[in-house]
Structure 1
Amino acid sequence: MIRILDIVIASFGLLAGLPILFVIFIAGLFDTGSPLFLQERVGRNRAPFTLVKFRTMKVDTASVASHLASASSITRFGHFLRRTKLDELPQLWNVLKGEMSLVGPRPCLFNQETLILEREKRGVLLARPGITGLAQINEIDMSTPVLLAETDAKMLHSLGIKDYFRYILQTVVGKGSGDRVSKER
Structure 2
Amino acid sequence: MRRLVGAVALMTMILGTAACGRDDIAGQVKETDTVTVTETAAPTARQETPNTRADELCKARGRTEGDQACVLTGGTIDHDVAFDGQRVVKLVNVTVTGSAKIIASGPVTVVGSTVGGTLSIRSENTVTVRATTVRGSLEISSARTATLTRATVRGTLDCDAVDRATGGGNAIAGQTTGVCADIA
The answer to whether TM tops 0.5 is no
Richer in strand (by share): 2
TM-score bracket, normalised by the shorter chain, equals: under 0.3
Q: Which structure exhibits the higher relative contact order, with contacts defined as CA atoms closer than 8 Å and separated by 6 or more residues? A: 1
Structure number with greater Rg is: 2
